[in-house]
Amino acid sequence: MRTVKKRRKVSIIGAGNVGATTAQKIVENGLADVVLLDIRDGVAQGKALDILEAGPLLGFDTRIRGTGRYEDIADSSVVVVTAGFSRKPGMSRDDLLTKNGEIIRDVAFNVRKFAPDSIVIAVTNPMDLMAYVLWRVTGFARERVIGMGGALDSSRFAYFLSEETRTSVSNIQSLVMGGHGDQMVPLLDFSTIAGVPVRKMVPADRLAAIVQRTRDGGAEIVHLMKDSSAYFAPAAATYSMIESILHDRHRIIPSSVFLQGEYGIKEAFVGVPVRLGNQGLEEIVELPLSEDESRQLRNSASAISEGIDALKRLFHDFSE
């Protein structure tokens, strides 16, 4: 009998700005079929139909289906979790903890039940903590729960460096580790412009300003848009992770993963460079950090550990 190889399936929970934009990129680039799920009746269905109606113009045959039912995420290779609230002006990512924690706990129960073999990408903020909830509740191996943060922060850092030096973004390699929040750790020794360390190309005061702008990257956009947070670059960052996983490219992309002693950090999701392939997390790349960078990373990790303790108090044993 002829076996028909079906296209891969990616499910996206939350059909808001980040979820729908990620879905659009996947479908338009022909990467996978998509299921877009939202709690608001009709939103996912409407956006899916709108995306499909561009097919004849753009020439894609991949499919997207909007739904409110978790049954439809069955057989997904990847599940992206963007459900929940985004930051409003004056709100820190951590203010979102309780609100989004409850939503993500519920999403995680459903992912465990309906897509038990999937690789989960956490996007909802506070992302490192929501990744922890997804990992705890699904019970998946740490290789299959990965947070999106470092890819976005590194891209913002790279963009600002390209703007500062009037150099193509394709010449810039940048690396941001640590929590996806105010305590991110941009690594100057591992950031280069056409292979030249940034410190040799950009004066120290300008570099400090760029690092600060990167730290405030999310807030800068909230401040401008007022009733929405960033979504084009977050969707692109999420897409790059999915693409490395589905095409088994083994790209090294800074992502939030559950550390078990790497970088001297235990029991917390923290952004580190990881190799991503079709098994999800393939390897944590351990870089020789300077003493100052190690200290910053540990500080970032201890803020995340405090968040995890707060989650444990909120949700006790994370059971239904």
Q: Which two tokens stand for residue 310?
A: 């707060």
Separation between Cα atoms, residue 18 and residue 238, nearest integer Å: 9
The yes or no reply on residue 182 touching ligand APR (CB under 6 A) is: no
Residue 264 zone, left/alpha/beta (φ > 0; ψ -120 to 50; rest): left
Span near ligand APR by CB under 6 A; candidates 83-91, 114-122, 186-194, 199-207: 83-91
Give the nearer residue to ligand APR in terms of CB position, either 160 or 231. Answer: 231
Give the nearer residue to ligand APR in terms of CB position, either 121 or 158. Answer: 121
* Minimum gap (Å) between residue 135 Cβ and ligand APR: 17
Q: In the complex, which residue's CB is closest to ligand APR?
A: 16
Q: How many positions of this chain bind ligand APR (CB under 6 A)?
A: 27
Helix (H) or strand (E) holding 65: strand 64-67
Give the nearer residue to ligand APR in terms of CB position, either 15 or 276. Answer: 15
* Minimum gap (Å) between residue 294 Cβ and ligand APR: 28
Q: Which of 24, 77, 86, 192 binds ligand APR (CB under 6 A)?
A: 86
Report whether 36 contacts 67 (CB < 8 A). Answer: yes
Q: End-to-end CA distance of the chain, in Å?
A: 44
- Span 10-69, contacts to ligand APR by CB under 6 A: 13-19, 38-40, 43
Q: Which two tokens stand for residue 60?
A: 């894609």
Q: Which of 234, 254, 271, 307 binds ligand APR (CB under 6 A)?
A: 234
* Minimum gap (Å) between residue 14 Cβ and ligand APR: 3
Separation between Cα atoms, residue 103 and residue 106, nearest integer Å: 5
- Span 108-147, contacts to ligand APR by CB under 6 A: 123-125
| 223 part of the active site | no
Nearest alpha carbon to residue 148 among 8, 35, 18? 18
Q: How many CA atoms lie within 13 A of 97 on its CB side?
A: 18
User: What are the residues whose beta carbons fall under 8 Å from the beta carbon of 318, sequence distance 6 or more?
Assistant: 105, 133, 136, 137
Separation between Cα atoms, residue 221 and residue 102, nearest integer Å: 26
Give the nearer residue to ligand APR in terms of CB position, either 100 or 174. Answer: 100
| Binding-site ranges for ligand APR (CB under 6 A) | 13-19, 38-40, 43, 82-87, 100, 103, 106-107, 123-125, 229, 231, 234
State the catalytic residues.
180
